[in-house]
């Protein structure tokens, strides 16, 4: 989605911080993502890195913890004041961040042209309960296996 939409600023937000490791692994494993700059919100100098990247028209992906505290609101304010359209990916969206207290800051900060993607492996209805959802896509793991074993369906 980052490459397809060409979003200059992508925010990956989650209450489950271990999910960031999976994103980082995939984004650093494939050539297609070589030009993306990965930044952890809160690391030393992260704001400068984001601004510099935006100024250089380089795509940047920022990982944002949705756990309360840790100057979360300051980070949200900083990120959403960047004057570009944003892609916001909320991972494990049925856990923690489905609560009003965790989601509301993002809902309020989001501009009309920003695109939000809620991702979860379970309880999609719960994840989507707070956000206005335009499109809902559900694929269960066994459906992937059906794709893998289409030949078995003919028997």
Which residues of the chain form contacts with other proteins (CB under 8 A)? Answer: 3-4, 16-19, 21-22, 32, 92, 94-95, 107, 121-123, 125-126, 128-130, 132-133, 138-149, 152-153, 155
Least Cβ distance, residue 153 to other proteins (angstroms): 5
Residues ≥6 apart with Cβ < 8 Å to 128: 93, 118, 136
Least Cβ distance, residue 121 to other proteins (angstroms): 6
Least Cβ distance, residue 126 to other proteins (angstroms): 8
Question: Phi and psi of 12, rounded to 5°?
Answer: -100, 110
Distances (CA, A) of 50 to 6, 18, 22, 130, 138: 16, 22, 21, 29, 33
Least Cβ distance, residue 93 to other proteins (angstroms): 12
Strand order in the sheet with 9-14: 37-40, 60-65, 9-14, 86-91, 115-118
Please, which residue, 76 or 130, has the CB nearer to other proteins? 130
Please, which residue, 40 or 78, has the CB nearer to other proteins? 40
Are 79 and 62 within 8 A, CB to CB?
Answer: yes
Please, which residue, 55 or 137, has the CB nearer to other proteins? 137
Give dist(CA 40, CA 11) in Å, integer: 10
Please, which residue, 50 or 89, has the CB nearer to other proteins? 89
Least Cβ distance, residue 48 to other proteins (angstroms): 26
Please, which residue, 68 or 146, has the CB nearer to other proteins? 146
| Nearest alpha carbon to residue 36 among 11, 65, 64, 66 | 11
Residue in this structure with the two tokens 């200059």, named with its chain if needed? 8
């Amino acid at each position: 989605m980052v490459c397809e939409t060409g979003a200059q600023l992508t925010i990956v937000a989650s209450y489950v911080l271990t999910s960031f490791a999976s994103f980082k692994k995939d984004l650093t494993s494939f050539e297609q993502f070589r030009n993306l700059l990965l930044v952890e919100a809160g690391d030393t100098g992260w704001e400068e890195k984001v601004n510099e990247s935006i100024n250089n028209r380089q795509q940047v992906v920022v990982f944002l913890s949705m756990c309360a505290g840790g100057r979360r609101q300051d980070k949200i304010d900083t990120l959403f004041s960047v004057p570009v359209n944003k892609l916001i990916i909320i991972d494990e969206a049925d856990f923690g961040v489905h609560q009003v207290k965790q989601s509301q800051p993002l809902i309020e900060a989001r501009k009309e042209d920003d695109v939000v993607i809620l991702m979860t492996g379970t309880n999609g209805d719960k994840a989507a309960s707070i956000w206005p959802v335009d499109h809902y896509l559900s694929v269960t793991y066994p459906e992937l296996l059906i794709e893998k074993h289409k030949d078995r369906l003919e028997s």
